[in-house]
Amino acid sequence: MPAVSTLARPQLDALLRGSGLYLRTGPFTTCIKSTIPHIIDGIARMYAAHRFEPQADYADFYVTLSASAGWRRWFRRQVNFHFDGDHPFLPLPLDQAFPMLEWVLNWCITGRAHSYLILHAAVVEKHGRAVIMPAPPGSGKSTLCAALVNSGWRLLSDELTLVGLDDGLLTPVPRPISLKNASIGVIRAFVADAVMSRAVAGTVKGTIAHLLPPAASIARAGERALPGWVIFPRYQAGSALVMAPLPKARAFMQVAENSFNYSVVGAAGFAALGGLIERSDCYQFTYSSLAEAIERFDALARGAP
Amino acid sequence: MWKVTTGQTLGHYGWDEEFVVYNSLSGDTHLLESFAMEILFLLQQRGPLSAAAVLDALGPLGDTGNDQPDIAELSVVLDQLQSLVLIDRV
């Protein structure tokens, strides 16, 4: 499969405006159609290293993002999301079209990919073992994830951990990393050559920008990983670094609360999560310095307790 | 007399004296201490049993063997397990 970057801009435009771009993200193929320049620009910039299927006749998800018609064409323009002939989201300001695409891609996976237990968690890997980081918004999860994957860790996902129901392995779905508000500046300062999408202000989550995922992580998207650790991160300004063991049964319950489809997949999800916790050391992790946090994670990957 | 609710499979994982149990009737997952889990195991293997028989079969708890639960404590746990539909009265 060729990379999106092999398409000249007019070709990419033509695909997105016509039959659709069959974009491969991890195990999923999504047919994306859009005439919105923000979407086309965003895909050209943030999905350059991702693969697409030039001759596809099947996709897991079919999504169309279009600008509003009628008087909305002229006043406070909006973006609409169409999915299988339905409009599951309210329209958003046109300026938010690329963040909407990212939310839509998450929504497609979390609502339909039930051959996995899907956790709301970042997941990164080093030396064959993965750290799963479930955490609510504002915990610093994506910031820490962005820093780690620019410090030698492999990105599986900044948002969705896909746990195989049959074997418990973690399937990567590396996509742009969503950064919010102050995190954008933090990562710009931390990653010297950070490539980001245009920052979009005024979303429901504040200002959002997406960080280009490492090309090496995208190239290894077919390589699943074993779980090694479940770490609940919490950024707390000025705090000392604390890595406190978390009893496994408590960790199980907290991870289950951070799952998108735990109740949907039933007993198979219980078994998969139990296996994941069994294989993992579990911690609460408080940090204020990214450099210190990475040093601690590296020590874990080297086998330090 | 108490028994495990018909249809409950009691799928579970246990770590460090705490257990997570899958409720195969409701789809919920419960976090239980070892005392509650021992009751479930006992009823699964030997139920139906009266509260007194459960107490007798459990014997002393804890490392010292001096921590004998009383019938009142047991009744509270049995009622809680019943409220979760993990066990039922016969």
| Interface probe, candidates B18, B20, B32, B33, chain A, greatest A C-beta count within 10 A | B20
Query: Containing H/E element for A16?
Result: helix A9-17
pLDDT above 90 (res B15):
yes
Interface of A with B in 233-252 (CB under 8 A): 247-250, 252
Strand order in the sheet with A28-34: A51-52, A21-25, A28-34, A61-67, A78-83, A92-93
Looking at per-residue confidence, does B31 or A56 come out higher? B31
pLDDT value of position A264: 96
Which chain A residues touch B31 with a CB distance below 8 Å? Answer: 249-250, 252-253
CATH number 1.10.3470 given to B2-60+67-89: no
The secondary structure element, H or E, covering residue B7 is: none
CA distance A274 to chain B (A): 6
Please identify which residue in the block is written with the tokens 């993002």: A65
Q: Hey, where are the domains in chain B?
A: 2-60+67-89
Pairing of strands A78-83, A51-52: unpaired
DSSP H or E stretch at residue A288? none
Q: Check residue A108 and give its pLDDT.
A: 94
Tokens of B88: 């039922």
pLDDT of residue A77: 67
First to last CA, chain B: 5
Nearest-CB residue to A247 (from B11, B18, B24): B18
Cα–Cα distance measured from residue A189 to residue A165, given in angstroms and rounded to the nearest whole number: 39
Q: What is the chain B residue with the closest CA to A261?
A: B27
Query: Which residues of chain A form CATH 3.90.228.20?
Result: 116-174+215-302
Would you call B20 an interface residue with chain A, using a CB distance cutoff of 8 Å?
Answer: yes
A128 Cβ contact partners less than 8 Å away, ≥ 6 residues apart: A225, A226
Residue A222: C-alpha distances to residues A216, A259, B54, B89 (Å): 12, 23, 52, 52
pLDDT mean for each 10 residues of chain A (305 residues): 96 96 97 94 97 92 83 60 72 83 94 96 97 88 96 97 97 97 94 92 91 97 97 95 97 96 96 98 96 97 81
Q: At what angle do helices A97-112 and A37-46 cross, to 10 degrees?
A: 70
Answer yes or no: pTM beyond 0.95: no
Beta bridge partners of A123: A132, A157
How much is the pLDDT for B61? 58
Residues of chain B in contact with residue A263, where contact means CB-CB under 8 angstroms, are 27
Answer yes or no: do A253 and B27 touch at CB < 8 A.
no
Minimum distance, in Å, between the CA of residue A225 and any CA atom of chain B? 22
> Measured between alpha carbons, how far is A141 from A155 in angstroms, rounded to an integer?
13
CB count within 10 Å of CB B34 equals 14
What is the SS3 string spanning B29-62?
A: EEEEEHHHHHHHHHHHHHCCECHHHHHHHHCCEC
Tokens 């979760």 correspond to what residue? B84
pLDDT given at position B65: 52
Quote the pLDDT of residue A139.
86
> In this complex, how many residue pairs, one in chain A and one in chain B, have their CB atoms less than 8 Å apart?
42
The CATH number of the structural domain formed by A116-174+215-302 is 3.90.228.20
